[in-house]
Chain A
Amino acid sequence: MTQHDTSTATKEREVSGTSATEHPAVQASSPGQSHVAHVESTAPGSLRVDDLEAYYGSFRAVSPVSMAIEGRKVTAIIGPSGCGKSTFIRCLNRMHETARGAHIRGHIYLDGEDINGPKVDPVVIRRKIGMVFQKPNPFPTMSIYDNVAAGLKINGIKSKERSMDEIVEQALRQAALWDEVKDKLKQAGTALSGGQQQRLCIARALAVEPEVLLMDEPCSALDPIATLAIEDLIRQLAPQVTIVIVTHNMQQASRVSDRTAFFMMNAQRSGELVEYDTTAKVFTNPADKRTDDYVTGRFG
């Protein structure tokens, strides 16, 4: 059973009282209520995961997970390698279904709306829920500027209020890269250092103004200094965008996140959510023995 403090639990009950009338879909799945971690925030960009299972063919990589991810906060996903962290967060923006034989069960709600609803286009979900990957992947044929503009340009999206230059500049500033690249926007994105490339990818994801930004071990290919730069950035971004970050680095999770979810493989080699609570609680006073063992480095 996951842990919660009473104040958020009370809040959750109030919220679900109102949202049930607004979103019938939420109500329909309410029988699963008892599994849901008892946090739900009214901040935009909040996610609720309801009995989510992820499969590759018949292999269940993630066993039923229920958790509420607070809007405009940083949530860290930690756990040993192979426990389904990547699979889990790829479900959150429907990237999971792009793998061969992949499918899910259960529900994910973005601000109360089912992202897997019958009429929902995954392409639209991915515009609202962006993703940054383990290895920086700037588009090699494009300049720094075009990389940042790619999501809008290729989709033919034009803003009435702001010019593309303004959007690109703002995204690069948000990604703390502007000062380093403002004089070479026409240069190839691939000419930057690894850390800069990763920040370029963050800027690229931010330019489409997502509600949520998913990051799958975004620093694992970077050196310690570049890693610290990205961690600073994550803290600065949190008030504007919900962040879910997978990391194998426990210091990183404790430095950047507000809440931490600990996943582990069960006997069927399927990932399970063992504990989900405030980061302080998970790292200093975890409720589950396995969490304690993991965060103190006794295994994993």
Chain B
Amino acid sequence: MTSTLVDTSLRYRRRKLFSNIMVGAATAAALGMMAILALILGQVFLEGGRYLNLDFFTQRPQPLGQEGGGMANAIVGSLIVLAIAAVLALPVGFFTGIYLSEYASDRFAGFVRFVVETMAGVPSIVVGIFAYVLIVRQTGTFSAIAGGFALAVIMIPIFARAAEEALATVPFSLREGAMALGIPSWRIVLRIVVPTAGPGIVTAAMLALARAGGETAPLIMTALGNRFWHDGLMDPIATLPVQIWTYATGPYDEWHQQAWAGSLVLVGVTVGIIGFVRLVYRGTQFRQL
């Protein structure tokens, strides 16, 4: 007697084959992506590692033709511009995220979501032009403020949407439980929902910062760059991505070496942030289980 549990029909075997092909293709695509990432990271670590040294973090660029020097001013500049961007973007993005997640039933919320999504899709060069016209032209100078503003415009939609997603993971039953205690809705959001989504919101902020920290084009048109230590927030300021871009596209070998070292620092910080966030997030999830 033939087994009723084993299907030997042609149709079944075809389906099985198709299924195997699809799994194979998906695996190949995933492996391909990992290979590309490995190539990028490998080259950056190899080349960058060769030229990265302590001077890179402590010295500013040397005059042409002189060996050594570093990008200390660009690293500090990037931190300053990012801090300005964070101060501008995090509150706006936070409340936009809350609005989208908690009051999304309003008709106006649909419009807000559309605006946020459109903003996220605007190419960063356009954001740069916008900040140039709005701030650089008006103030008559490239500046850290203009750079921070441009990065803020890039960060807001990224942060708002990620914060919205983090808030949306908070089960409705918690809001309901709080409502049944006679807690007004805005207090429910701030005291129950936001703390519950806390790790997710922090993650969202870090990822938005990491994204903005690598932006180059809008900074070329706003912060410009500076071979020296900056002279205040209304002064052109060096940033790591712009410095890398300048040196990488320049004609000198020493510049290329510095650009590799800079790339390593930038990639290291970004990967570091993502890794750190993962670790923190994991920890809290375990604590909540």
With A141-B195, A141-B196, A141-B198: A208-B181 Cβ-Cβ less than 8 Å: yes
Question: Which of B168-176, B230-238, B247-255, B264-272 has 4 or more CB atoms under 8 Å from chain A?
Answer: B168-176
* Docked complex Cα distance between A282 and B211 (Å): 66
- Which of chain A's residues have a CB closer than 8 A to the CB of B187? 154-155
With A137-B171, A137-B174: A93-B196 Cβ-Cβ less than 8 Å: no
Closest-by-CB residue of A relative to B170 is A140
Closest-by-CB residue of B relative to A94 is B179
B184 within 8 A of A: yes
Q: Would A126 and B174 count as touching, CB distance under 8 A?
A: no
Q: Would A140 and B182 count as touching, CB distance under 8 A?
A: no
A124 within 8 A of B: yes
Q: Would A98 and B179 count as touching, CB distance under 8 A?
A: yes
Instruction: Type the 1/0 row for B74-105, where 1 means its CB is closer than 8 Å to any CB of A.
Output: 00000000000000000000000000000001
- Which of chain A's residues have a CB closer than 8 A to the CB of B178? 139, 150, 154
Closest-by-CB residue of A relative to B187 is A154
User: Majority SS of interface residues in chain B?
Assistant: helix
Give the contacting residue for A135; candidates B173, B180, B184, B191; CB below 8 A: B173
Please report the total number of A residues contacting B with Cβ < 8 Å: 30
Q: Would A151 and B179 count as touching, CB distance under 8 A?
A: no
A204 within 8 A of B: yes
Q: Name which of A93, A135, A150 has the most chain B CB atoms within 10 A of its CB.
A: A150
- Which of chain A's residues have a CB closer than 8 A to the CB of B181? 126-127, 130, 150-151, 154-155, 204-205, 208
B192 within 8 A of A: yes
With A137-B171, A140-B196: A151-B182 Cβ-Cβ less than 8 Å: yes
Q: Would B179 and A155 count as touching, CB distance under 8 A?
A: no
Q: Would B196 and A123 count as touching, CB distance under 8 A?
A: no
Cβ < 8 Å to A, chain B residues 141-189: 171, 173-174, 176-184, 187
A95 within 8 A of B: yes
A234 within 8 A of B: no
A133 within 8 A of B: yes
Q: Would A126 and B196 count as touching, CB distance under 8 A?
A: no
* Docked complex Cα distance between A100 and B105 (Å): 8
Smallest CB–CB gap between A255 and chain B, Å?
Answer: 25
A77 within 8 A of B: no
* Docked complex Cα distance between A93 and B180 (Å): 8
* Docked complex Cα distance between A190 and B285 (Å): 12
B118 within 8 A of A: no
Q: Would B182 and A123 count as touching, CB distance under 8 A?
A: yes
* Docked complex Cα distance between A151 and B196 (Å): 17
Instruction: Type the 1/0 row for B275-289, where 1 means its CB is closer than 8 Å to any CB of A.
Output: 000000000000110
* Docked complex Cα distance between A154 and B190 (Å): 10
A245 within 8 A of B: no
Instruction: Type the 1/0 row for A76-113, where 1 means its CB is closer than 8 Å to any CB of B.
Output: 00000000000000000101001010000000000000
Range for the number of chain B residues in contact with chain A: 20 to 34
Smallest CB–CB gap between A197 and chain B, Å?
Answer: 11
Smallest CB–CB gap between A65 and chain B, Å?
Answer: 21
- Which of chain B's residues have a CB closer than 8 A to the CB of A246? none
A201 within 8 A of B: yes
With A155-B187, A190-B288: A126-B195 Cβ-Cβ less than 8 Å: no
Instruction: Type the 1/0 row for B179-222, where 1 means its CB is closer than 8 Å to any CB of A.
Output: 11111100100011001101000000000000000000000000
A131 within 8 A of B: yes
With A139-B192, A190-B288: A155-B177 Cβ-Cβ less than 8 Å: no
* Docked complex Cα distance between A139 and B191 (Å): 10
- Which of chain A's residues have a CB closer than 8 A to the CB of B196? 139-141
Instruction: Type the 1/0 row for A150-162, where 1 means its CB is closer than 8 Å to any CB of B.
Output: 1100110000000
- Which of chain B's residues have a CB closer than 8 A to the CB of A95? 176, 179-180
Q: Would A123 and B183 count as touching, CB distance under 8 A?
A: yes
* Docked complex Cα distance between A124 and B174 (Å): 19
- Which of chain A's residues have a CB closer than 8 A to the CB of B174? 137, 139-140
Give the contacting residue for B176; candidates A137, A151, A190; CB below 8 A: A137
Give the contacting residue for A133; candidates B177, B191, B288; CB below 8 A: B177
Smallest CB–CB gap between A113 and chain B, Å?
Answer: 16
Smallest CB–CB gap between A33 and chain B, Å?
Answer: 31
Smallest CB–CB gap between A152 and chain B, Å?
Answer: 9
Q: Would B176 and A133 count as touching, CB distance under 8 A?
A: yes
Q: Would A126 and B173 count as touching, CB distance under 8 A?
A: no
* Docked complex Cα distance between A139 and B105 (Å): 24
* Docked complex Cα distance between A100 and B192 (Å): 22
Tell me the A residues contacting B by CB distance below 8 Å. 93, 95, 98, 100, 123-128, 130-133, 135, 137-141, 150-151, 154-155, 188, 190, 201, 204-205, 208
Given A133-B176, A139-B192, A204-B181, 13 other A-B residues pairs in contact with their CB atoms under 8 A: A95-B176, A123-B184, A124-B182, A126-B181, A133-B173, A133-B180, A135-B173, A138-B177, A139-B174, A150-B192, A154-B178, A155-B184, A204-B177
Q: List 18 A-B contacts (CB under 8 A).
A: A93-B180, A98-B176, A126-B180, A126-B181, A127-B181, A131-B180, A137-B176, A139-B177, A139-B192, A140-B174, A140-B196, A141-B192, A150-B183, A154-B181, A154-B187, A155-B183, A204-B181, A205-B180
Which 9 pairs of residues, A with B, have the shortest CB-CB distance? A127-B182, A151-B181, A131-B180, A126-B182, A137-B177, A137-B173, A141-B195, A154-B191, A123-B182
